[in-house]
Amino acid sequence: MNLILLGAPGAGKGTQAEIICEHLNIPAVSTGNIIREALKSGTEMGLRAKSFVDAGKLVPDEVVIGIIQERLAKDDCKNGFILDGFPRTIPQAEALDSMGVVIDKVIDIEVPDEKIVQRMSGRRVCESCGASYHLLYKKPEQEGVCGKCSGTLVQRKDDHPDTVLARLKVYHEETEPLKDYYQKQGKLFVVEGQEEVADTTKLTLAAVEA
Ligand code: AMP
């Protein structure tokens, strides 16, 4: 199954992607994680992306389209994948179409902006493997330490409040039109993000299995 997880930054896409990934045994592909990895290792793509990511802006379409093209061509995507954070613009969605990628479902996780700002301040990610945690909703067993790989948990620079507001603005202007794009194709499933991760997961899995 080829899935897209849509939603504002901080709506919980990453967490749900990790859960669906285990449930369906297909990889979760996060352009955000790929870009952060490139930033960390200082590749040419990372250097190109840095100023956009730090400012909460979108990295240019041709860069992310190139990333996704390369990633989806890998063997582990043959039986399906979950896209988390891609597409984020109409041209990116059109690029998927013209690559011949058929999307089965688009699950849109809806969370109001006020909640997003509140949530982002508690979000932490593993510096090494990219796993996501939350100080209130998804606490690591050991404070500051990743339960998966023992890496250090940090707050992303772009999770700071000013950048979060910039990212929300970009989301409403550039990414939200995708709801209509996929609604017209009959592929959109809306999930209301819940207070508890497990409750959102129930709704997400129901949408996957619908
Ligand atoms: P995320 O972890 O998905 O919130 O992504 C972090 C940052 O990476 C975003 O704020 C963008 O700067 C960049 N990014 C990730 N995915 C995309 C995309 N599909 N298009 C453009 N920029 C992206």
Is 92 annotated among the ligand-binding residues?
Answer: yes
Instruction: Provide residues with CB under 6 Å of ligand 1.
Output: 9, 31-32, 35, 52-53, 56-59, 64, 85-86, 88, 92, 158, 167
148 in any annotated domain? no
Active site residue 88: yes
Over the stretch 77-106, which tens digit does the pLDDT of each residue have? 999 999 999 999 999 999 999 999 999 999
Asked if 29 and 14 touch (Cβ cutoff 8 Å), the reply is: no
Enumerate residues 6+ apart whose C-beta is below 8 A from 22.
Answer: none
23 in any annotated domain? yes
Active site residue 124: no
Give the residue numbers spanning the domain of 54: 2-112+173-209
Enumerate residues 6+ apart whose C-beta is below 8 A from 153.
Answer: 124, 125, 126, 127, 133, 140, 144, 145, 146
Q: Determine the distance from the C-alpha atom of residue 51 to the mean position of all C-alpha atoms in its chain, rounded to a whole number.
A: 19
Q: Looking at the 3D structure of the chain, how many domains does it have?
A: 1
105 in any annotated domain? yes
What's the distance, Cα to Cα, between the start and end of the chain in Å? Answer: 12
106 in any annotated domain? yes
157 in any annotated domain? no
Over the stretch 171-201, which tens digit does the pLDDT of each residue have? 999 999 999 999 999 999 999 999 888 999 9
126 in any annotated domain? no
75 in any annotated domain? yes
- pLDDT greater than 90 at residue 65: yes
Assign residue 33 the CATH number of its domain: 3.40.50.300
87 in any annotated domain? yes
Distance (Å, rounded) from C-alpha 88 to C-alpha 195?
A: 25
- pLDDT greater than 90 at residue 162: no
